[in-house]
């Protein structure tokens, strides 16, 4: 029996395919790709996936199935993980059933705690975890996960509805974002993060770890601004605090047209990266870390580790 398998991370904005091979110390990546689906676009205010987003989702599955066939991965060795949009939108489970029944891919819709646990499993494989308190932040389209830990121990975790697509659809900010939009968003962050603030008072952190997604974009943009190329194969890297703060302030003030031309920023993140920047600015203020790191490993890496172990 082959020791290769695959997972598909069914996120709110992108559906990510990871094909990997089991190794003694974890896994080796064979292939990784993503397709933009934007499940929340045009439908999250009504609480359902609309027809256009549904079609993008099925098209993404067809694309990933072709890739799986090229790598000779049978669907019996593929598992999909649905997150915020699929668990919160009224027809998310119906879409999961279609993926299972029509395309033969097993779908597991995870709750917020399961999602945070999978993210943490991935992060621990990528980042050196010290014995000082740290905060992991995973910004998604539908939700943002926060995890406080010390060493290998998780002290507190929470999945919030602060995903950037959800925020964009709800607040519909001006372009560029105006002061009133910023005040409304900051108030919304505070209203949803009282318990995080309380936990940070109990466990003052020294290390903020941003997993994948928006933090990957921040790192790529900073490097591009220094005429350097982002290495997508690295597991983790530290992000210079002054450079991060400077980039965040520029992004918050930027227009969509400016972001479209921004070196190091992929098009699928143009619409919402300034919302992510404002959220990170708020988290930096309330957590005051000494070090900020990017973890390239997040949910899909945690999921493939679990899936490969399950298949043994």
| pLDDT, tens only, 119-146 | 999 999 999 888 899 999 999 999 999 9
Residue 122 domain flag: no
Residue 83 lies in a domain: yes
Q: Do residue 78 and residue 172 come from a single domain?
A: no
Query: What is the Cα–Cα distance from 232 to 230, expressed in whole angstroms?
Result: 6
Distance set, CA 227 to CA 221, 222, 239, 241, 292 (Å): 10, 9, 16, 18, 21
Task: Say yes or no: 148 and 79 in one domain.
Answer: no
Q: Is 80 found in the same domain as 139?
A: no
User: What CATH code is carried by the domain that includes residue 104?
Assistant: 3.30.420.40
> Quick one: which of 166, 201, 199 has its CA closest to 185?
166
Chain centroid to CA 294: 12
Is there a single domain that holds both residue 306 and residue 288? Answer: no
pLDDT at 59: 98
Q: Does the pLDDT at position 42 exceed 80? A: no
pLDDT-based confidence at 304, cuts 50/70/90?
very high
Select from 308, 266, 286 the least CA-distant residue to 122: 308
In total, how many domains does the chain have? 2
Stretch 91-97: mean pLDDT:
95
As a whole number, mean pLDDT of residues 35-60 equals: 89
Q: Verify that 134 and 172 share a domain, yes or no.
A: yes
Q: What is the pLDDT of residue 47?
A: 86
Q: Evaluate whether 169 touches 45 at the Cβ level (below 8 Å).
A: yes
Q: What DSSP state is assigned to residue 76?
A: G
| pTM for the whole structure | 0.94
pLDDT over 80 (residue 45):
no
Write down the pLDDT at residue 2. 75
Per DSSP, which regions of the chain are E strands? 4-10, 14-23, 26-36, 78-82, 106-109, 134-139, 144-150, 153-160, 207-211, 236-239, 291-295
Domain of residue 175 covers 128-295
| Measured CA angle at 209 (ends 157, 177), to 5 deg | 90
Per cent of the chain over pLDDT 90 is 89
Say if residue 8's pLDDT is above 60: yes
**Do both 104 and 241 map to the same domain?**
no
Which pLDDT does position 98 carry in this prediction?
97
pLDDT of residue 11: 93
Name, in order, each residue with C-beta under 8 angstroms of 157's C-beta and a sequence gap of 6 or more: 113, 116, 117, 120, 145, 146, 147, 148
CA 155 to chain centroid:
21
With 80 as the cut, is the pLDDT of residue 200 above it?
A: yes
Residue 120 domain-assigned (yes or no): no
pLDDT at 1 over 60: no
Mean local confidence (pLDDT), 174-202: 97
């Amino acid at each position: 029996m082959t020791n290769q398998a695959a997972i598909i991370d069914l996120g709110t904005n992108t559906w990510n395919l990871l094909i990997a091979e089991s190794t003694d110390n974890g896994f080796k990546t064979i292939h990784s790709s993503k397709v933009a689906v934007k499940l929340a676009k045009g439908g999250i205010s009504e609480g359902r996936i609309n027809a256009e987003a549904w079609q993008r989702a099925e098209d993404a599955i067809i694309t990933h199935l072709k890739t799986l066939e090229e790598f000779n991965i049978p669907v019996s060795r593929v598992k999909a993980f649905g997150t915020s949009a699929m668990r919160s939108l009224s027809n998310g489970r119906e879409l999961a059933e279609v993926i299972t029944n029509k395309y033969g891919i097993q779908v597991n819709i995870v709750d917020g705690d399961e999602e945070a646990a999978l993210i943490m499993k991935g992060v621990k494989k990528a980042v050196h975890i010290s014995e000082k308190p740290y905060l992991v932040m995973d910004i998604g389209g539908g939700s943002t996960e926060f995890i406080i830990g010390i060493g290998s121990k998780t002290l507190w975790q929470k999945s919030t509805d602060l995903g950037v697509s959800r925020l964009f659809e709800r607040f519909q900010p001006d372009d560029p974002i105006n002061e009133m939009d910023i005040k409304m968003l900051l108030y919304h962050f505070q209203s949803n993060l009282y318990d995080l603030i309380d936990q940070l008072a109990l466990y003052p952190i020294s290390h903020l770890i941003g997993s994948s997604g928006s933090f990957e974009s921040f790192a790529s943009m900073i490097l591009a601004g220094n005429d350097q190329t982002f290495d997508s194969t690295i597991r983790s890297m530290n992000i210079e605090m002054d450079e991060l703060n400077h980039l965040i302030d520029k992004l918050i003030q930027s227009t969509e047209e400016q972001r479209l031309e921004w070196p190091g920023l992929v098009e699928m993140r143009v619409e919402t990266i300034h919302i992510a920047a404002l959220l990170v600015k708020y988290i930096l203020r309330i957590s005051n870390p000494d070090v900020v790191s990017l973890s390239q490993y997040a949910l899909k890496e945690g999921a493939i580790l679990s899936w490969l172990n399950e298949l043994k």
